[in-house]
Structure 1
Amino acid sequence: MLKLQNIDAYYGFIHALKNININIKKGEIVTILGANGAGKTSTLKVISGLLKPQKGKIKFNNKSFNKYTPEKIVSEGIIQSPEGRQIFPELSVEENLKAGAYTRKDRNNIENSLEEVYNYFPILKERKKQYAGTLSGGEQQMLAIARALMAKPKILLLDEPSLGLAPIIVKEIFQIIKDINKEGTTVLLVEQNAYQALSIADYGYILETGKVVLEGNSKELLVNTDIKKAYLGGN
């Protein structure tokens, strides 16, 4: 469905991504793991068109979109929920959600989509008239994901959805991601919480200093000794 082939990308003279190869199949949850500075967010920026690769190909459903603008990529159904949530704090919850649907042409179905995201996130329905900036951190993360869902993604890109959240909220967020995937949305999940990410993913990639150093079935990565030592606190 989505392929990154031999991608090299730079910030000025900084070589951020080095010969990255990633393959995401329809219906999967794929996770990208790594420490800060490993290249996880840079990979998402390449997919979203915010960082143009100097080498390599990006293909979505066998179409090359190296030269697509971010707006065109969104219109193709590749939607990102960014790190840090980036909600609109002075708008209501419902206004934030409707902003997520601004690219859609089927305006008559937006109310149905609102009800769908409220089914995933009932707390947002309770808070729909509340200013988004007054929500808790966990509720803001739910809003960020729900806003991305309002765009009807074919692939949902999630950048550090567990960042800064209490463990009980993290567990809830990851269960919702599983539910979203079961309903047919392909998910690319960038995370530092390796255990939670691998627990719900089908396949994983480990990045270090802009390179893929390990990849495989998520269940195999969970029991990999090197992964345990580096990310899961194992001996």
Structure 2
Amino acid sequence: MLSLIDIESSYGYVKVLKGITIEIKEGDIVAILGANGAGKTTILRTISGLLKPDRGKIEFMGERIDGKPPELIVSKGIVQSPEGREIFPGLSVLENLKIGAYTRKDKNNISKDLDRIYHYFPRLRERQNQIAGTLSGGEQQMLAIARALMAKPKLLMLDEPSLGLAPRVVKEIFEIIKEINQEGVTVLLVEQNARQALAIANYAYILQTGLVVMEGKAEDLKNNEEVKATYLGGKRPGSNVN
């Protein structure tokens, strides 16, 4: 569905991605894991068209999209829920959701899709007329994901959906992500919470300083001793890997 081939991206003179190759199959949940500064968000920004790669190419559904404007990429079905949520705090929940659908031409189906969103996130139905800035952190994260879904993505990109949330809320968010995927939306998940991400992903890539240092089926990575030691809080007997 999506291929990144030897992608390099920079901010000014600082090269952040140093030859990234990633593939996402339709229907999968693919996780990108790594510490702060590894380049996870930069990958999403490059896919979204917010950052033009220095080299390499990106193909989506067989069509090359690197260098295309973000609004065109969204219209093709790639939608991002950004780190930090970035909802419109002065607007109501419902107004935020309707903004998510602004690129759509099938306006007659928007109310039907609102019902689907409210199925995933019943609390948003209860709070649809509430000002978004007054929601709890977990509710704001739900709203950010729901707003992205209103664009009817083929590929939903989630940037740190668990950031700053209580464990109970994190579990709830990840259950919803799994349900969204089971209903046909491919998911690219950027996360520091490796344990939760690997629990729902089919495949995962691990980044360090702009490079893919490990990849594989999520189940295999979950059982890998180095991954357990570095990302899942396990012990690292006889190893000096940091």
So what's the TM-score if we normalise by structure 2? 0.97
Between the aligned partners of 2:141 and 2:38, the Cα distance in structure 1 is: 23
Partner of 2:36: 36
Deviation at 1:13, TM superposition (A): 1.1
5 Å-filtered alignment, 1:58-137, equals 58-137=58-137
> What do you get for the CA RMSD once the two structures are aligned?
0.4
Whether 1:167 and 2:167 are equivalent positions in the alignment is yes
Between the aligned partners of 1:130 and 1:10, the Cα distance in structure 2 is: 40
5 Å-filtered alignment, 1:144-183, equals 144-183=144-183
Aligned length in residues? 235
Partner of 1:214: 214
Determine helix, strand or coil for the equivalent of 1:18: strand
CA contact (8 A) 2:30 2:187 kept: yes
Mark the runs of 5 or more structure 2 residues left unpaired by the alignment.
236-242
Whether 1:140 and 2:140 are equivalent positions in the alignment is yes
Paired letter, 1:52: K
Between the aligned partners of 2:67 and 2:134, the Cα distance in structure 1 is: 39
Partner of 2:238: none
Identity %, equivalent residues: 66
Deviation at 1:207, TM superposition (A): 0.2
Deviations along 1:84-119, one digit per CA (max 9) or x if unpaired, are 000011100000000000000000000001000000
Partner of 1:18: 18
Between the aligned partners of 1:4 and 1:114, the Cα distance in structure 2 is: 32
Partner of 1:9: 9
Structure 1 runs of 4+ off > 3 angstroms? Answer: none
Between the aligned partners of 2:110 and 2:193, the Cα distance in structure 1 is: 33
Between the aligned partners of 1:136 and 1:67, the Cα distance in structure 2 is: 37
Deviation at 1:70, TM superposition (A): 0.3
Partner of 2:239: none
Paired letter, 2:145: I
Deviation at 1:67, TM superposition (A): 2.5
Paired letter, 1:60: F
Deviation at 1:12, TM superposition (A): 1.1
Deviations along 1:146-194, one digit per CA (max 9) or x if unpaired, are 0000000000000000000000000000000000000000000000000
Between the aligned partners of 1:125 and 1:68, the Cα distance in structure 2 is: 35
Between the aligned partners of 1:222 and 1:14, the Cα distance in structure 2 is: 32
Deviations along 1:3-31, one digit per CA (max 9) or x if unpaired, are 00000111111110011000000000000
Partner of 2:188: 188
Between the aligned partners of 1:30 and 1:174, the Cα distance in structure 2 is: 13
Deviation at 1:66, TM superposition (A): 1.4
Between the aligned partners of 1:104 and 1:60, the Cα distance in structure 2 is: 19
Determine helix, strand or coil for the equivalent of 2:162: coil
Between the aligned partners of 2:157 and 2:211, the Cα distance in structure 1 is: 19
Partner of 1:230: 230
Between the aligned partners of 1:231 and 1:116, the Cα distance in structure 2 is: 35
Paired letter, 1:15: K
Paired letter, 1:181: N
Mark the runs of 5 or more structure 1 residues left unpaired by the alignment.
none
Paired letter, 1:229: A
